[in-house]
Structure 1
Amino acid sequence: MLDVLVIGGGNAALCAALMASEAGASVMLLEAAPREWRGGNSQHTRNLRCMHDAPQDVLVDAYPEEEYWQDLLKVTGGITNEALARLTIRASSNCRDWMRKHGVHFQPPLSGALHVARTNAFFMGGGKALVNAYFRSAEKLGVQIRYDTPVVSVELDGDRFVAACTVSGERIEARSCVLAAGGFESNRDWLREAWGQNGRGEWPSDNFLIRGTRFNQGVLLKSMMEAGADSIGDPTQAHMVAIDARAPLYDGGICTRIDCVSLGVVVNREAQRFYDEGEDFWPKRYAIWGRLVAQQPGQIGYSIIDQKAIGRFMPPVFAGVTANTLAELASRLGLPERAFVHTVEAYNAACRPGSFDHTALDDCRTEGLTPAKTHWARPIDTPPYYGYALKPGVTFTYLGLKVNDKSAVHFGGRPSPNLFVAGEMMAGNVLGQGYTAGVGMSIGTAFGRIAGTQAALAARKEFEHAAV
């Protein structure tokens, strides 16, 4: 009989398969997508947030555990399991050598407005290269890989895994199993059910775009919850980013993100500002803007900058709408002209002189304006002016299965002896809300490796028990 079955094909699943195989287990990995779309959302990633007490190869300065924890605590508002969060943080400090052993390469540190050269290690070639390296390594280790094989449910004996059931009706037995099949962000019906209607009679999720794979339908997650697995998380919470409104429905990836928010102002379709654009460094705040835009009329916003901002942010894949006057820009964006000009002029008048420095929390702020802009506030007064329409882009959902430090699925508070979960399917244990750049890969890598190790141990125990 097969030792370990891994369900999923992204970073967490691959880490689990590699670790289980290294531990001597026979492993099969089932990927719902066809080969050309393998890798789930991991193919769209770029980096891993890493704790380090001193400079390390591609990481500059230091990023100690307590600072990482405080960054996570701030974005989650305390909705996190500290023990599991710290486990993730510590694991992020020592995984890169293992990753390199499996063919992952890291690029030299970035500089500039992204402000992440100290905290994040970037993959050479991005997430697609990482996924391809892991698949190559898995094949060399003898992992059986099957594509186009969605799993719809698992067969249980109490809290024990027995077999997986595929969409075609096939039943695959194994001594242990790792679930790493992603969240439900691609399931439009489930998103609609979770978000419901707002007070304006709108169905907000109908206007959401999905930044990643179309294959994360949440079928296995829902099946596990219906089978009695303990769940955690709010179904409306997700890694949700403000992205270009012209992005495709699926697989737009990182290039559709609009990164100039902190350099200007953001207005809704009524030309009103609604949040502090300069609250904190962009990598710590970019992931709140999808949800903020989702709460606006029509689930749309507009990022507005002038010529002074050009060259200070990663340019998006689509060019912005440009104009030489504010009134002309409003017209081209379809915004109410008088209200838009008034909003920008009121902001300009509220800006106080300071020493602008987009690499620091500077003293450029507004006074007497609601909402305030607390950093990087400079008048928008230098044409040409640029506008980017924004829509909420969902990366992954946080509703998932409850785990312990062994990554075990729980039933009625009791951990399963041979069923484990990693990646998006359990990220809600660490991310109750909010996000900070690269932490999703940290969670997937940490718990994928734990789940693979524990699944191999469980399989050995199952074999020894059967032999007796």
Structure 2
Amino acid sequence: MLDVLVIGGGNAALCAALMAREAGAEVLVLESAPRAWRGGNSSHTRNLRCMHDAPQDVLVDAYPEEEFWQDLLKVTGGRTNEALARIAIRHSASCRNWMRRHGVRFQPSLSGTLHVARTNAFFMGGGKALINAYYRSAEALGVRVRYDATVDRLELEEGHFRAAWLGDERIEARACVVASGGFESNREWLREAWGPNEAGEWPAENFLIRGTRFNQGVLLRDLLDQGADRIGDPTQCHSVAIDARAPLYDGGICTRIDCVSLGIVVNRQARRFYDEGEDFWPKRYAIWGRLVARQPGQIGYSIIDAKAVGRFMPPVFKGEQADTLDALARRLGLDEAVFVRTVADYNAACRAGHFDHEVLDDCHTEGLEPPKTHWARPLDTPPYYAYALRPGITFTYLGVRVDARAAVHFGGQPSDNLFAAGEVMAGNVLGQGYTAGVGMSIGTAFGRIAGAQAAAAALQRPATALVA
């Protein structure tokens, strides 16, 4: 009988497979995607958020545990399991040497990403290079991989894993790691979760999926139906405001619009609806998809003037451009008078200070609702630019409850041989919100933990300690 079955093909799954193999287990990976599309959402990632107490190669200064924890606590609004969150944080300090041993390379932050030069380690070649490195290492170690292998259901007995079913094929294993992602690619489940809004619209119809089309949530649904303890809100997700022209799937990082904090954002009624300068963009970019999802027609428009050009990572596609505000409104199909008044009110409310996009500066608005807390400068220098925004869903936060061993819980009791890692359990740490790179921190930490624990369960010996 097979020792460890890993279901999934992204970062968390490969970390689990490599750890289990290093512990001496025979490992089979089942990836639902074809080989050319392997890796899930991990192929679109760029970096890993890392705790460190002093400068480390590509990381500058220090980013201690408590600061990481406070950043996470802030963006989640307290909707997080502190014990599990701190496990991910602490593992982020020691995982990179292990990653390097499996072929992953790092590079310094690039222009336009300096906000995270202290907190995040960037992968050389991005997520695709990371995934390819892990697959090469897995192959060299003897991990078997099957592609186009969609698992329909798990065979469980009171929380104990027996086998996985692929159609009529039954695969037995002594232990299993589920790392098969969330349900963000399942449009019907998104419709079910979000329902209609007050205007009778179905917001999920206008969602674009930034990552893989293969995250249908099949095993997540199966586990919940079989009594796995549930964690998270099905409407909470990593949701970014992306270019409205992005493809339905796999647009990735290049579809993101990063100039929000340098201007204003208006809805279809040409009115602002949230504080664009609330905090640093890496701590707020992943709430803007949800904010846009709540607007009429699930669309917004990021507006900047010439002063902002060169201060953010430019989008792939050019936005609308005009020399006057009313001309820009016409290009966008917005009410000209309302749009011009919105900008005028914003400009009048701006209070001059020392503008510095690298810090939480003192440029703010007064007497304006919603306010703009930082980086508020009048939009008064043509040409003016606009980018249409849609909600871009990266991954969902509904998942299964796990413990420090990554064991899936059933009725409050941990399974003895079924473990979970990655998006399928990220809701234990991410109840809402996001901060750049933390998804990879969670997936790497709990992927490695799950793999070590699965090997221990299969081989009936203590789990190997995780070392850097």
Q: TM-score range by the shorter chain?
A: over 0.9
Shift of 1:112: 4.6
User: Is 1:89 the equivalent of 2:70?
Assistant: no
Q: Which residue of 1 aligns with 2:23?
A: 23
| Amino acid in the other structure paired with 1:387 | A
Q: Which residue of 2 aligns with 1:141?
A: 141
Alignment of 1:10-89 (within 5 A): 10-89=10-89
Q: Which residue of 2 aligns with 1:429?
A: 428
Q: Is the 8 A contact 1:114 1:283 kept in 2?
A: no
Q: Is the 8 A contact 1:242 1:286 kept in 2?
A: yes
Q: Which residue of 2 aligns with 1:151?
A: 151
Shift of 1:109: 3.1
Shift of 1:111: 5.0
Query: 1:206 and 1:156 mapped to 2: Cα distance?
Result: 35
Shift of 1:398: 0.2
Query: 2:442 and 2:433 mapped to 1: Cα distance?
Result: 14
User: Is 1:258 the equivalent of 2:257?
Assistant: yes
Q: Which residue of 1 aligns with 2:408?
A: 409
Q: Is the 8 A contact 2:112 2:313 kept in 1?
A: no
Q: What value does the CA root-mean-square deviation take over the aligned residues?
A: 1.0
Shift of 1:121: 0.2
Alignment of 1:41-440 (within 5 A): 41-112=41-112, 114-166=114-166, 168-440=167-439
* Cα distance per residue 1:128-165 (max 9 Å; x no partner): 00000000000000001000000011101222100000
Query: 1:112 and 1:34 mapped to 2: Cα distance?
Result: 33
Shift of 1:226: 0.5
* Cα distance per residue 1:346-367 (max 9 Å; x no partner): 1011111111000011011111
Shift of 1:114: 4.5
Per the alignment, in what secondary structure is the counterpart of residue 341 of structure 1?
helix
Q: Is the 8 A contact 1:60 1:109 kept in 2?
A: no
Q: Is the 8 A contact 1:49 1:121 kept in 2?
A: yes
Q: Which residue of 1 aligns with 2:446?
A: 447
Q: Is the 8 A contact 1:113 1:312 kept in 2?
A: no
Per the alignment, in what secondary structure is the counterpart of residue 224 of structure 1?
helix
Query: 2:210 and 2:142 mapped to 1: Cα distance?
Result: 32
Query: 1:460 and 1:251 mapped to 2: Cα distance?
Result: 38
| Amino acid in the other structure paired with 2:146 | R
Per the alignment, in what secondary structure is the counterpart of residue 200 of structure 2?
coil
Q: Is the 8 A contact 1:178 1:452 kept in 2?
A: yes
Q: Which residue of 2 aligns with 1:465?
A: none
Per the alignment, in what secondary structure is the counterpart of residue 174 of structure 1?
strand
Query: 2:168 and 2:246 mapped to 1: Cα distance?
Result: 36
Shift of 1:110: 3.4
Q: Is the 8 A contact 1:114 1:313 kept in 2?
A: no
Shift of 1:311: 0.3
Query: 1:185 and 1:111 mapped to 2: Cα distance?
Result: 31
Query: 1:112 and 1:133 mapped to 2: Cα distance?
Result: 26
* Cα distance per residue 1:92-140 (max 9 Å; x no partner): 0000000000000001233556400000000000000000000000000
Q: Is the 8 A contact 2:29 2:143 kept in 1?
A: yes
Query: 2:15 and 2:205 mapped to 1: Cα distance?
Result: 34
* Cα distance per residue 1:296-315 (max 9 Å; x no partner): 00000000000000000000
Alignment identity in percent? 78
Q: Is the 8 A contact 1:327 1:337 kept in 2?
A: yes
Distance 1:114 1:198, change over 3 A: farther
Shift of 1:461: 1.7
Query: 2:223 and 2:373 mapped to 1: Cα distance?
Result: 45
Query: 1:29 and 1:358 mapped to 2: Cα distance?
Result: 44
| Amino acid in the other structure paired with 1:364 | C
Moved over 4 A (4+): 111-114
| Amino acid in the other structure paired with 1:222 | R
Query: 1:243 and 1:308 mapped to 2: Cα distance?
Result: 22
Query: 1:23 and 1:268 mapped to 2: Cα distance?
Result: 54
Per the alignment, in what secondary structure is the counterpart of residue 381 of structure 2?
coil
Query: 2:114 and 2:84 mapped to 1: Cα distance?
Result: 27
| Amino acid in the other structure paired with 2:179 | A
Unaligned runs of 5+ in 1: 463-468
Query: 2:108 and 2:71 mapped to 1: Cα distance?
Result: 23
Q: Which residue of 1 aligns with 2:465?
A: none
Comparing 112-121 with 389-398, greater Cα deviation is found at: 112-121
Query: 2:127 and 2:262 mapped to 1: Cα distance?
Result: 28
Q: Is the 8 A contact 2:20 2:455 kept in 1?
A: yes
Q: Is the 8 A contact 1:112 1:359 kept in 2?
A: no
Q: Is the 8 A contact 1:113 1:359 kept in 2?
A: no
Q: Is the 8 A contact 1:52 1:64 kept in 2?
A: yes
Alignment TM-score, normalising by the size of structure 2: 0.98
Query: 2:112 and 2:401 mapped to 1: Cα distance?
Result: 38
* Cα distance per residue 1:419-442 (max 9 Å; x no partner): 000000000000000000000000
Q: Is the 8 A contact 1:40 1:212 kept in 2?
A: yes
| Amino acid in the other structure paired with 2:395 | F
| Amino acid in the other structure paired with 1:12 | A
Q: Is the 8 A contact 1:230 1:410 kept in 2?
A: yes
Per the alignment, in what secondary structure is the counterpart of residue 248 of structure 1?
coil
Q: Is the 8 A contact 1:301 1:390 kept in 2?
A: yes
Query: 2:90 and 2:324 mapped to 1: Cα distance?
Result: 51
| Amino acid in the other structure paired with 1:216 | N
Query: 1:107 and 1:233 mapped to 2: Cα distance?
Result: 34
